[in-house]
Amino acid sequence: MRADRYKAEKQRKKKKRKIILISIFSCVLLAVIGYFTYFALATNQVLNDIQGESLTSTSTNPRPAPVKLKNKEPFSILLLGVDERPEDSGRSDSILVATVNPKLDSVKLISLPRDTFVNLPQNKGKDKINAAYAYGGINLAVQTVEKYLGIPIHYYAKINMEGMVDLVDAVGGIDVVNEYPFELDGVSLDKGSYSLDGNQALQYARMRKQDPAGDFGRQERQKEVIQKIVEKGLSITSLTNFNSIFQAVGKNVETNFTGSELWDLLNNYSSVAKNIETLNLEGKDSYLYYIPSYGQEVYVWEPTNESLSSIQQELQAHLNLAPSTSEMNSNSEATLESSTVEATYDDNQTPAIEKEYDPN
Q: Average pLDDT for residues 53-76, to the nearest whole number?
A: 83
- How far from the centroid of its chain's Cα atoms is residue 23's Cα? 46
Quick check: 330 pLDDT over 70? no
Task: Let me know the angle formed at the C-alpha of 358 by 287 and 191, rounded to the nearest 5 degrees.
Answer: 95
* Ordered strands of the 296-300 beta sheet: 296-300, 287-291, 343-344
Of 120, 151, 140, residue with least CA distance to 333 = 120
Pairing status of strand 106-111 against strand 276-279: parallel
- Residues in contact with 102: Cβ distance below 8 Å, sequence separation at least 6, in sequence order: 72, 74, 268, 269, 271, 272
Distance CA 114, CA 215 (A): 8
CB atoms within 10 A of CB 241: 16
Q: Please, where are the H alpha helices in the chain?
A: 2-50, 131-149, 164-170, 198-206, 215-235, 239-252, 259-268, 305-318, 325-331
Q: What percent of the chain has pLDDT over 90?
A: 26
Q: Average pLDDT for residues 122-144, to the nearest whole number?
A: 90
pLDDT of residue 273: 72
- The letter for the amino acid at 131 is A
pLDDT of residue 195: 94
The CA–CA distances, whole Å, from 216 to 18, 93, 139, 276, 301 equal: 66, 12, 25, 18, 11
pLDDT of residue 146: 95
Cβ atoms of 279 and 314 closer than 8 Å = yes
Distance CA 281, CA 311 (A): 7
Q: Average pLDDT for residues 217-238, to the nearest whole number?
A: 75
Quick check: 188 pLDDT over 60? yes
pLDDT of residue 324: 54
Q: Average pLDDT for residues 52-63, to the nearest whole number?
A: 76
Quick check: 344 pLDDT over 80? no
Distance CA 125, CA 57 (A): 21
Q: Average pLDDT for residues 281-295, to the nearest whole number?
A: 84
Counting Cβ atoms within 10 Å, is residue 351 exposed (0-12), middle (13-18) or buried (19+)?
Answer: exposed
Distance CA 184, CA 187 (A): 5
The SS3 of residue 180 is: coil
Distance CA 272, CA 16 (A): 52
Torsion of CA 287, 291, 293, 297, to 10 degrees: 60
The pTM (predicted TM-score) of the whole model is 0.72
pLDDT of residue 78: 93
In whole numbers, what is the pLDDT of the chain averaged over residues? 76
Instruction: Please write the tens of the pLDDT for every residue from 259-286.
Output: 788 888 877 887 787 788 889 899 987 8
Q: What percent of the chain has pLDDT over 70?
A: 70
Beta strands in 64-173, from DSSP E residues, in sequence order:
75-82, 92-101, 106-111, 117-120, 125-128, 155-160
pLDDT of residue 178: 93
pLDDT of residue 36: 46
Q: How confident is the model at residue 323 (pLDDT cuts 50, 70, 90)?
A: low
The SS3 of residue 258 is: coil
Quick check: 331 pLDDT over 50? no
